[in-house]
Amino acid sequence: MLKIDIISVQPGMFKGFLEQSIVARAVKKGACEIRIHDLRDFTHDKWRKVDDKPYGGGPGMLMMCGPWFEAVESCETEQGVDRRVIMTSPAGRRFDQRLAEELAGESHLVFMCGHYEGFDARIRTLATDEVSIGDFVMTGGELAAATMVDSIVRLLPGVLGGGPAATSSESFGRDGLLEAPQYTHPPVFRGMAVPEVLLSGDHRRIDAWRNSEARKLTEGARPDLLK
Ligand SMILES: C[S@@+](CC[C@H](N)C(=O)[O-])C[C@H]1O[C@@H](n2cnc3c(N)ncnc32)[C@H](O)[C@@H]1O
């Protein structure tokens, strides 16, 4: 079972995500265990202060070392199990399907959600990985952590109804292509018909069509994936 700890100053942001998504189903099925920690529980002053002004001046506040070191150290890992500690950061390695697959194979993940102007640089020493979800800046790391956890958890065995096939034939799968267009009922909607081949029942032709459509779509929308 994959153990996931998420540390945040806004733990309430994970409520809906944990109660209503596929992640909720994964937890119920025992594929993973997710614990949310309030960073302020690791402070020792009556204001539960987690941030302070940056040395050298500059706008905003930075997250302080003390609460972060205590919080990450409190996320217990079983003996002999290597854990990955993932600091959310615009400066990190870009998250993608390969990294989601890699992390889905781990036993214990700890996500660090930054806030304000980010982390005191010394907090980076706690992380095994620094990961960004794209070239833009968000207010906090909560949505980044939720994005990553969602895409990791759906890869865990038994979480999606269709088994391994449900994820292996998707966009960014092993062939590196985007997924071919898909259709469902009705066969004709407002004059738009489902391609005849998909109604043929001939699975060799269907596979060939899907392959060629996936390639065309990828060439048009994401030629960088073909390099
Ligand atoms: C306002 S941002 C800090 C930005 C930082 N001052 C900078 O210029 O790189 C606050 C926190 O949100 C999270 N965050 C923001 N954008 C992110 C992204 N693209 N990917 C992952 N985490 C992000 C990080 O945890 C970050 O510490």
For the residues 136-148, what does the mean pLDDT come to? 98
- For the chain, domains (ranges, CATH) are 2-153 (3.40.1280.10), 172-226 (1.10.1270.20)
pLDDT for position 169: 81
**pTM listed for this prediction:** 0.96
> 48 is written with which tokens?
């539960």
CA dihedral 2, 133, 98, 221 (to 10 degrees): 140
Rounded mean pLDDT of the chain?
96
pLDDT digits (tens, 9 = 90+) for 18-46: 999 899 999 999 999 999 999 999 999 99
Distance between CA atoms of 141 and 45, rounded to whole angstroms? 24
Distance 131 CA to ligand 1 centre (A): 10
Which of the listed residues 62, 85, 86, 138 should we mutate to test ligand 1's pocket, taking the one with most ligand atoms within 8 A of CB? Answer: 138
Confidence class for position 53, pLDDT limits 50, 70, 90? very high
Distance between CA atoms of 166 and 185, rounded to whole angstroms? 20
Taking CA atoms only, the protein residue closest to ligand 1 atom 15 is 138
| C-alpha distance from residue 189 to each of 4, 46, 179, 185 (Å) | 44, 62, 22, 9
Distance between CA atoms of 54 and 99, rounded to whole angstroms? 32
Distance 47 CA to ligand 1 centre (A): 24
pLDDT digits (tens, 9 = 90+) for 54-108: 999 999 999 999 999 999 999 988 888 889 999 999 999 999 999 999 999 999 9
Atom of ligand 1 nearest to the CA of 63: 27
Q: Is the pLDDT of residue 47 over 90?
A: yes
Lowest-confidence segment of 107-116, 168-177, 178-187 by average pLDDT: 168-177
Which protein residues are within 6 Å of ligand 1, measured from CB?
88-91, 113-115, 117-119, 132-134, 136-141, 144
Distance 220 CA to ligand 1 centre (A): 31
Q: Is the pLDDT of residue 165 over 80?
A: no
Distance between CA atoms of 149 and 21, rounded to whole angstroms? 11
Q: How many CB atoms lie within 10 A of CB 61?
A: 16
Confidence class for position 14, pLDDT limits 50, 70, 90? very high
